Structure formats: structure tokens, C-alpha cells
């Protein structure tokens, strides 16, 4: 449940991450945190869907992971999150510990393709995609396999990085059985429903 205390702590963490990114010299050092508005949106989707298994591709410092984990905790779900950066996974682990959410989340330092390939068919109820946008079209065949009927996929940066997201958006729109819409929340959320 989102208590007032948790909301205050999440806001403070977001502000700390934004301040960090202002001084980071290289993109790889940045935490690239979603907006609090996007966090609330993810929380609402997860709670409404009662997602048993949530997969996050692109953990970064774990800010989005916290929102997903808080929702999962409320309905006894689990979150699996993957990032290729050992440093960022360590940051995410520390943030999860601070919120006492480690039991809800499994963190992987790995390539997203490997995690997707090892995920069971139709087992994921909610997928949050916030990583290397050029790789998204390659993920799509595996994503269609692992999403459960009625599952949701949310892709961040749909409006802030339209051109980079376009190949993935086109692949989704060309696939039968999927309903998609872009919402002006945060940096733009492309939401896909597996309508099968």
C-alpha cells in the first residue's frame, strides 16, 4: 500500500536521482529515473491488473522497480528486473532494502535477451520496458510469447524519444491481437494490451 511516508520517501529519492543526473559526466553514470507521475501510473496498472509476475527490462537505480514492487507486495505478486549494469543493480538492491522490498523482487545483472529467453510462455502479467530502445524490436517476438492473455506492456519515453521508439511501435501495431495507445504521462507511455 502507498502510505504517505512511502510517497514522501519516493519523492525524495526521485529528487536525489535528478540532482545526481545533473552532475553526471557520462550517460552511463546517469540514473535516468522515471517521473513520479509514471511511477504512480505503473502502480495503478499493476494493482488493477493484480499482476502476479511483473518483468522490468531496465532496472537502473531501481526507482521504477520500487513502484512496481510496492504494487506487487499489495497483492502478493513478484517482480523480476534486469539490467546489464552491475553498479545500477547494486543501487537498486540498496533502494529495495531501504523500503524492505527485497523479498518481492528478483534482480538480474544480465542481458535482457537471456532473461526473456528463460521466461515461461504466457507467464508475465505486466512488462515495463525502459532500456536500450534500439533493441526493442528484437525483443518483440519473445515478448509476445511470454505475455499472458490480458497482460499489459508499458514502454517509457514514447513521446520524449519518438523516432527511437518508432520501429518498436510499428512492429507492435503490425501484430494482430494487440491493442496499443500512447498516454501523455511522464515522458510518454506506450501501453499495449495483449487482447487474446
What residues form DSSP beta bridges with 79?
Answer: 54, 105
- Say if residues 58 and 88 touch (Cβ distance below 8 Å): no
The helix or strand, by DSSP H or E, that contains position 113, with its residue range, turns out to be helix 112-117
- Say if residues 103 and 72 touch (Cβ distance below 8 Å): no
**DSSP string covering 37-99, please?**
HHHHHHHHHHHHHT-SEEEEE--TTSHHHHHHHHHHHHTT-EEEEEES-HHHHHHHHHHHHHT
Whole-structure pTM over 0.85, yes or no?
yes
| pLDDT band of 138, cuts 50, 70, 90 | very high
pLDDT tens for each residue of 74-84: 999 999 999 99
pLDDT tens for each residue of 146-174: 999 999 999 999 999 999 999 999 999 99
Q: Domains in the chain, start-ordered, CATH in brackets?
A: 34-194 (3.40.50.150)
Amino acid at each position: 500500500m502507498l502510505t504517505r511516508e512511502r510517497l514522501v520517501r519516493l519523492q525524495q529519492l526521485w529528487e536525489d536521482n535528478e540532482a545526481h543526473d545533473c552532475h553526471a559526466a557520462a550517460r552511463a553514470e546517469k540514473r535516468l529515473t522515471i517521473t513520479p507521475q509514471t511511477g504512480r501510473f505503473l502502480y495503478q496498472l499493476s494493482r488493477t491488473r493484480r499482476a502476479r509476475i511483473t518483468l522490468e527490462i531496465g532496472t537502473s537505480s531501481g526507482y521504477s522497480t520500487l513502484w512496481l514492487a510496492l504494487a506487487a507486495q499489495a497483492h502478493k505478486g513478484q517482480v523480476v528486473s534486469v539490467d546489464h549494469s552491475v553498479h545500477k543493480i547494486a543501487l537498486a538492491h540498496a533502494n529495495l532494502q531501504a523500503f524492505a522490498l527485497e523479498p518481492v523482487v528478483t534482480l538480474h545483472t544480465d542481458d535482457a535477451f537471456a532473461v526473456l529467453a528463460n521466461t515461461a510462455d504466457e507467464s508475465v502479467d505486466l512488462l515495463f520496458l525502459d532500456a536500450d530502445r534500439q533493441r526493442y524490436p528484437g525483443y518483440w517476438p519473445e515478448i509476445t510469447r511470454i505475455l499472458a492473455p490480458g497482460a499489459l506492456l508499458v514502454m517509457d519515453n514514447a513521446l520524449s524519444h519518438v523516432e527511437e521508439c518508432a520501429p518498436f511501435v510499428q512492429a507492435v501495431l503490425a501484430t494482430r491481437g494487440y491493442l496499443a495507445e500512447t498516454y501523455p504521462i511522464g515522458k510518454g507511455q506506450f501501453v499495449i494490451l495483449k487482447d487474446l
